[in-house]
Amino acid sequence: MNKKIAVLLGGTSSEREISIKSGYAVLNSLLKSGLNAYPIDTRDYSIMKLKQEGFDKVYISLHGYGGEDGSIQGVLQYLNIPYTGSGIMSSSISIDKFRTKLLWKSRGLLTAPDIYVSKKKNIASIYPLIVKKTLKLGFPVLIKPNNQGSSIGITLVSCLDQLKNAIKIAFSYDNNILIEKFIKGKEYTISILGEKVLPSIHISTKNNFYDYDAKYMSSSTQYSCPSGLNILQETELQKIAILAWNTLGCSGCGRIDVILDNENKFWLLEVNTIPGMTNRSLVPISAQNMGISFDELVLLILNMNDQNLL
């Protein structure tokens, strides 16, 4: 008999809307492949019921908190239901930009210099110190929530006058933020599927950086695959990506974003352990370049990670 598959989507994070689009694209693909799949919106459904309702497997299409941070993975592990994507530890580390970067730095990988600021401290009292450290980094800087995806809550700051408001915006999404040196260069993303590194994609946008608008709204954002990197650069990027991925203990399918600066150095930006699967998403573009259709990709991801329960 066909296994009963739950596609977890929606949820309560700020990326809910994107998650619904991803989830339904996955669901429709699974149904098209003749599988017994159902949409489950975790905002309105207790996933503790998955076992008693006879679900054998879970495809996680949740983005951000409550889906990508290890919490859902922990419940599924407790229920002994196989699920897609990375396990508990790697999911919870990967959503934390600051701790991800600490691990990457420990392996000699390049990441942008940053300042970590926690809301637990009285911001007014430490603001002069934040200014001093930011001036040392040098403008422009990116102010970002530590635990958000989809470029939500990120502001590019080019002068001191814009700093306070950008910090306020980032804190409205998270209790911890990063002030990060903005690395000028070309942006690339590289997808990982199991043990395989897929071809890189060059992202070009008319915006100052690849922000939420460039990702989901703008029609002028362009994705080039092949990316235009030469063979040596592509090989180097693949090595960096797999080291970054394995350092965090990730598994299944994911994506790593990088900047190639003007001196031809790759700087790691962040990792995405549950990448989008919409019609604008990057993993499907990269897979297509390898001759893997969207439906094949969904099935590969579905059948990849039963080891989560070992």
Q: Where in the sequence numbering do the catalytic residues fall? A: 15, 150, 281
Which pair of structure tokens corresponds to residue 168?
């306020």
As a whole number of angstroms, the distance between CA 268 and CA 260 comes to: 9
Runs of H (alpha helix) within the chain? 16-32, 71-79, 88-94, 97-106, 123-137, 163-171, 212-216, 231-247, 282-289, 294-302
Alpha-carbon gap, residue 189 to 201, rounded angstroms: 5
> Cβ(154)–Cβ(140) under 8 Å?
no
The CA distances from residue 36 to 26, 153, 284, 303, 309, in Å, are 12, 37, 22, 14, 22
Paired sense of beta strands 196-197 and 185-193, if any: antiparallel
Quickly tell me which residue has 């970067």 as its tokens: 101
Radius of gyration of the CA atoms of the chain, in A: 19
Contacts of 125 (CB under 8 A, 6+ apart): none
Burial class (CB in 10 A: 0-12, 13-18, 19+), 159: exposed
According to DSSP, residue 49 is labeled: G
The residues, ordered by sequence, that sit 6+ positions from 172 with a Cβ below 8 Å of its Cβ are 153
What is the Cα–Cα distance from 6 to 127, expressed in whole angstroms?
Answer: 47
The residue length of the chain stands at 310
